[in-house]
Chain A
Amino acid sequence: MTKRITPLAPDRVHALSGAYAGAIATTRRRNGVTLAVILGLIVLSAWVAEVRPLVFARNIGRFTAYIGQILPHLTFANFGGDVADWYWGLPKWLGLLGETILMAYLGTLLGAAAAFALCFAAAANIARTRTGCFVAKRVFEFCRTVPEIVFALLFVIAFGLGPMVGVLALAIHTTGALGKLFAEVIENIDMKPVESLTAAGANRVETIRFAVLPQVLSNFASYGLLRFEINVRGAGVMGFVGAGGIGQEFLVAIRNFYDTDVSAILVLIILTVMGIDLATERLRHHLLGLTR
Chain B
Amino acid sequence: MSRIAVPDPAAIAALRQRHPEVFRRSWRGRVVTLALLAALVGFAAFAMVRLEFSATRILAGLGRLGEFAILMLPPDSGDRAGAFLLALGETLAIAFLGTLAAALMAFPVAFLAARNVVPNPFVHFTVRRGLDVIRSVDVLIWALIWINVVGLGPFAGALAIACADFGALGKLFSEAMETVDRKAGEGVSASGGTVLHRIRFGVVPAVLPVLGSQVLYFFESNTRSATIIGIVGAGGVGQYLTELIRVLELQQVSFLILLILVTVTAIDLVSSRLRRALIGGQAR
Q: Which residue of B lies closest to A156 (CB)?
A: B245
Does chain A have a CB within 8 A of B204? no
B70 within 8 A of A: no
Given A102-B50, A103-B51, A105-B47, check contact A233 B136 (CB 8 Å): yes
Which listed residue (B51, B137, B138, B242) contacts A102, Cβ 8 A? B51
- CB neighbours (8 Å) of B150 from chain A are 52, 55-56, 59
- As a 0/1 sequence over residues 227 to 248 of chain B, the CB contacts with chain A under 8 angstroms (1 = contact) are 1100110010000011001001
Identify which of B57, B97, B227, B248 contacts A49 (C-beta below 8 A).
B97
CA distance A38 to B100 in the complex (A): 10
Contact A234:B138 (CB < 8 A) given known A45-B92, A51-B97, A55-B150: yes
Which chain B positions have C-beta within 8 A of A150?
Answer: 227-228, 241, 245, 257
Q: How far is the CA of A94 from the CA of B94 in the complex (A)?
A: 34
Q: Which among A117-125, A160-168, A204-212 touches the partner chain?
A: A160-168
Per the bound structure, the CA–CA distance linking A233 and B167 in Å amounts to 14
Q: List, in ascending order, chain B residues with CB within 8 A of A48's CB.
A: 89-90, 92-93, 154
A-B contacts counted at CB < 8 A amount to: 159
Cβ B228 vs Cβ A59 within 8 A: no
Collect the chain A residues with CB atoms within 8 Å of residue B65's CB: 154-155, 158
Chain A 239-274, CB within 8 Å of chain B: the 1/0 string? 011001000001100100000000000100110011
Residue of B nearest to A255 (CB): B144
Contacts of A153 in B (CB 8 A): 231, 241-242, 245
In the complex, what's the smallest C-beta–C-beta distance from B152 to chain A, in angstroms? 10
- Please give the distance in Å from B260's CB to the nearest CB on chain A: 8
> Which A residues touch B232, using CB under 8 A?
240
B84 adjacent to chain A (CB < 8 Å) = no
Shortest C-beta distance, B190 to chain A (Å), equals 21
Per the bound structure, the CA–CA distance linking A46 and B57 in Å amounts to 46
A157 to B157, CA, bound (A): 26
Residues of B within 8 A of A167 (CB): 51, 53
Contact of A147 among B40, B54, B224, B248 (CB under 8 A): B224
Prevailing SS type, chain B contact patch: helix
A181 contacts partner chain B, Cβ-Cβ < 8 Å: no
B94: chain A residues at CB < 8 Å are 45, 49
Q: Which of A142, A162, A163, A250 contacts B141 (CB 8 A)?
A: A250
Kindly provide the distance from the CB of B155 to the nearest chain A CB, expressed in whole angstroms: 5
Answer yes or no: B148 CB below 8 A from chain A CBs. Answer: yes
Q: How far is the CB of A55 from chain B (nearest CB, A)?
A: 6
CB of B125 closer than 8 Å to a CB of A: no
Contact A158 B61 (CB under 8 A): yes
B186 at the A interface (CB under 8 A): no
* Alpha-carbon separation in the docked complex, A56 to B97 (Å): 15
Q: Which residues of chain A are near B235, meaning CB under 8 Å?
A: 49-50
**In the bound complex, do residue A254 and residue B144 qualify as a contact, i.e. CB atoms below 8 Å apart?**
yes
Q: Is A179 an interface residue (CB 8 A)?
A: no
The CA-CA distance from A62 to B148 in the complex, in Å, is 8
User: Is B196's CB within 8 Å of the partner chain A?
Assistant: no
Task: Known A153-B241, A163-B51; judge A237-B138 contact (CB<8 A).
Answer: yes
A56 to B155, CA, bound (A): 9
Known: A51-B155, A150-B228. A266 touches B100 (CB 8 A): no
Interface flags for B126-144 (1: CB within 8 Å of A; 0: not) read 0000001100111011001
Q: Interface readout for A88-130 with B: 1 if CB under 8 Å, 0 if not? A: 0000000000010011011001100000000000000000000
Please name 15 further chain A to chain B contacts, defined as beta carbons within 8 Å, in addition to the given A154-B68, A240-B231, sorted by A numbering. Answer: A45-B96, A49-B157, A56-B150, A62-B148, A105-B47, A146-B257, A149-B228, A149-B231, A153-B231, A159-B60, A159-B61, A233-B136, A236-B141, A237-B140, A270-B136
* 15 sampled A-B residue pairs with Cβ under 8 A: A44-B93, A51-B97, A51-B158, A102-B47, A105-B43, A157-B64, A157-B248, A159-B64, A162-B51, A163-B51, A164-B51, A164-B54, A236-B141, A237-B140, A244-B51
The 8 closest A-B pairs by CB, nearest first: A45-B93, A159-B61, A273-B136, A48-B93, A49-B154, A49-B93, A102-B47, A158-B64
